[in-house]
Amino acid sequence: MTKSRKKVYMAAGYHTVSMGTGRKEFHPKKARPGLEEYIREAGQGTLKQIGGGANVDEGVIGNFMAARFNKQGNLAALIPSVDPDLRWKPCTRVEGACGSGGLALTTAAKSVLAGTADIVLVIGVEVQNTVKAVYGADILAGAGWYRGERKNGHAYFFPSVFSDRAGAYFEKYGREKTRRAFARWYRQAVENARLCETAQEYHNAVQDLESLALAEPNPRSFVDYLNVFDCSKVSDAAAAIAVLSAKGLERAGIEKEDAVEVVGWGQVEADLTIPPEDPTRLETTARAAAMALRASRVKLGEIGTVECHDCFTISGLLSVESIGFAKQGEGADFILDGNASRGGAVPFNTSGGLIGWGHPTGGTGVRQAVTVWQQLTGKAANWQVPIPSSRPYGLSVNMGGNDKTVTAVVYRRGE
């Protein structure tokens, strides 16, 4: 993105409960909301804050694999089911694996910048608890190069891919401290999730989270270098937010201080068919974050909170380094020193992130934007962190696949 003269805002965020194992109300054999119900709840939650569907010019929905998890395609045509006033309006579905939500945000922002819309309703959704975990792992393998990698890949494909990254990191920078950093990341994720009522780990009552997370990986039942606590859980959820122009804010009756301004973004694609040159670095994440910071003319030292894509603890650590908060090999120190905690220099994933809040793959990027909006506007309730005047910006980084599709967005409170 280049610097634009036209301002783009986000406001009126909403997210459903992140449903899956860990939630007291979840039971695999009991009826649960389906794709349509999640889309309607999230969409209506946002519409109530912007004056209803009549105020919306366009709709965008981000989703990864509804065609396989739910046997449902044509998701753009589910947007009008949110509200009768959305019928006959242009709607679009976008897909970029686990980065689909981030693509939905930038697609909406481009409509505002192009002048084709002043208010765009953005929804991100995934309902994954429809199949057994091992079958779900095969579906999610479509975020990688399925034809070239899946045949010889592990049954738990993406846990194995990021396990291999962890193994490479252990070999290069040491195992013991890195494992402790993974355990600390898990602890912080769950502790943050316990403050957010919609989080998947909200009900987690384990006292010694770090000891639990230090359980040795068991390659015979899972993967080589990660345990199950290093992984985000299968999640059903949706999130929605409005992307608006200044005119759209006025039309929706939203004050600028109740919105966040999108001051810059970066969206980068790597070649899906080429393995990472250095498995100890998220190169595409680094490029997208650098692009977003360049476009916004914001320095890392001005970022007050970050939502990173911690689908695994190793990706949380690598995100810290790739965004630039720590040098390569020093991410564990950054985490263990408490810098990413709620009271640290740069609080990461304040509602729990993908490990704590949940990872409804196609919806995660939108949920991240909602979380940043809540924090920067003081609407985060029990899980609010201080946003100092010296660090007034927020950053979200949404990754699809093995660091292949990445969208990074820089935000600040509207003024």
Domain count, the chain: 1
Of the candidates 146, 182, 201, 183, the one whose C-alpha atom is nearest the C-alpha of residue 17 is: 201
CB atoms under 10 Å from CB of 221, counted, come to 9
CATH of the domain at 34: 3.40.47.10
Is residue 186 a contact partner of residue 210, using CB atoms and an 8 Å limit?
Answer: yes
Q: Are strands 91-94 and 58-62 parallel, antiparallel or unpaired?
A: parallel
CB atoms under 10 Å from CB of 283, counted, come to 15
The residue range of the domain holding 349 is 1-415
pLDDT at 4: 62
Angle between helices 283-296 and 313-323 (to 10 degrees): 40
Where does the pLDDT of residue 133 fall: very low under 50, low under 70, confident under 90, or very high at 90 and above? confident
Distances (CA, A) of 38 to 33, 59, 283, 307: 7, 16, 33, 22
To the nearest whole percent, how much of the chain has pLDDT over 70? 99
pLDDT at 163: 98
pTM: 0.97
Average pLDDT over residues 326-338: 98
pLDDT at 5: 67
Q: Are strands 303-307 and 393-400 parallel, antiparallel or unpaired?
A: parallel
Distance of alpha carbon 251 from alpha carbon 73, whole angstroms: 32
At 214, give phi and psi (nearest 5°).
-85, 5
To the nearest whole percent, how much of the chain has pLDDT over 90? 95
pLDDT digit string (tens) for 57-102? 999 999 999 999 999 999 999 999 999 999 999 999 999 999 999 9
pLDDT digit string (tens) for 148-171? 999 888 889 999 999 999 999 999
